[in-house]
Each structure stands twice: as structure tokens, then as C-alpha cells.
């Protein structure tokens, strides 16, 4: 098996180069000084390619691929991912993670209007930022609305990556702080 991550970010001719190498049953690995790895003719290599769909791949290349979409994790799966990657938030109010995920899911909602919705990696970075920029006890997302809005504004760069999205986040957080305790 040959894993190739984010093939859509490679130069335009890269997918066709992969096809040539698979047909020839070999791979050149420049990072290893140009080493050539050849497959046993009895065993065709299986390539596992990832793509974020940032740009289209050539039709001829796609005809030779089997497509599988990995759906975005649901709430429970996100909780397990956070626990596995970051561990428990010791000393935090039990609602801290629930509130953070609730706000995160609102930001990911298509109706939020963000140009680039935050992904799991951004969630993990944001949780770490929240955890490291506030006192270790309690729930920093359960304070007065202006305090929560300020905290999220200071840490939002972990979640969103454009100026327009930062503006939208401010409005979403304002509405969220008014309603999340209901």
C-alpha cells in the first residue's frame, strides 16, 4: 500500500505521473535520494490517496480511482476524538467541552456563512488555546456574554482563517452567548 496525502495540492501533472509509475510498477522517492522501489509483478500496488477537493483532478485519473467520502464526525465522535487527542480537561467545569462543541458545531453549520468551515484540527487547536489562555478551573465559555465574546475573539484565529470569517464568528458568538444557557 502506498499512501499519498492531499494529492489535489500537488502540481497539475502529478496525478498523471502517478499513473505512469503504477503502470510501470515502480516509485521514485526523491526524499530518499531518488531511491526507486519496484513492486513484485505478482502484486499490484494499492494507492490510498487523500484530497481536500481544493482543485479538480484530471478525469482520466479519476476514472481509475475508487471514491470514498469520509463524513465529518458527529458530536459523539468529536467527543471521542478530543478525549483521545487532548485527554480530559482536568479542573474544568463538565460543561466546558459541551459548550465548546456546541459553539463549534454552530460555526460549522452551513447557515453560519463561513467561507471555510473549521475542521477537526482547528477544533483541537482552539480547545488547546482556550485551555491555555484561561484559568484552569471552571468553564470559560460560561461567563458574561462580553467576556465570552472577548475570549473567543482572542482565540478565533485557531478556528477561522479569513478576515470575513472572523467578522461572522463575532456575530455567531454574540447570538450564541445570548442563548446557550437556555
Q: What is the pLDDT along the chain (182 residues), one digit of tens a residue?
A: 888 899 888 888 888 888 888 888 888 888 889 898 888 888 888 889 998 888 888 888 889 889 999 899 999 999 999 989 988 776 676 788 888 999 999 999 999 999 999 999 999 999 999 888 877 666 777 778 888 888 888 899 999 999 999 999 989 988 888 886 54
Helix (H) or strand (E) run with residue 36 in it: strand 35-38
Q: Mean pLDDT over all residues of the chain?
A: 86
Which residue do the cell numbers 485557531 mark? 158
Q: Is residue 125 part of a domain?
A: yes
Q: Is residue 68 part of a domain?
A: no
Q: Is residue 151 part of a domain?
A: yes
Within this chain, do residues 110 and 163 fall inside the same structural domain, yes or no? Answer: yes
Within this chain, do residues 110 and 131 fall inside the same structural domain, yes or no? Answer: yes
**Closest alpha carbon to 155 in 83, 111, 100:** 100
Could you tell me the residue range of the domain that residue 131 belongs to? 75-179
Q: Is residue 157 part of a domain?
A: yes
For the stretch 39-91, pLDDT in tens is: 888 888 888 999 888 888 888 888 988 999 989 999 999 999 998 998 877 66
Q: What is the pLDDT of residue 107?
A: 94
Domain tally, the chain: 2
Amino acid at each position: 500500500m502506498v499512501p499519498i496525502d492531499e494529492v489535489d495540492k500537488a502540481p497539475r501533472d502529478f496525478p498523471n505521473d502517478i499513473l505512469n509509475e503504477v503502470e510501470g510498477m515502480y516509485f521514485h522517492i526523491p526524499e530518499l535520494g531518488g531511491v526507486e522501489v519496484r513492486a513484485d509483478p505478482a502484486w499490484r500496488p494499492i494507492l490510498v490517496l487523500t484530497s481536500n477537493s481544493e482543485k479538480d483532478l484530471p478525469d482520466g485519473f479519476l476514472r481509475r480511482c475508487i471514491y470514498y467520502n469520509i463524513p465529518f464526525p458527529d458530536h459523539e465522535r468529536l467527543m471521542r476524538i478530543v478525549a483521545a487527542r487532548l485527554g480530559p480537561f482536568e479542573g474544568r467545569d463538565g460543561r466546558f467541552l459541551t459548550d465548546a462543541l456546541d459553539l463549534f458545531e454552530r460555526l460549522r453549520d452551513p447557515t453560519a456563512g463561513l467561507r471555510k468551515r473549521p475542521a477537526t484540527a482547528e477544533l483541537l487547536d482552539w480547545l488547546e488555546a482556550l485551555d491555555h489562555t484561561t484559568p484552569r478551573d471552571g468553564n470559560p465559555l460560561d461567563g458574561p456574554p462580553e467576556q465570552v465574546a472577548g475570549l473567543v475573539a482572542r482565540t478565533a484565529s485557531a478556528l477561522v482563517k479569513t478576515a470575513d470569517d472572523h467578522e461572522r464568528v463575532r456575530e455567531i458568538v454574540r447570538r450564541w452567548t445570548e442563548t446557550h444557557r437556555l
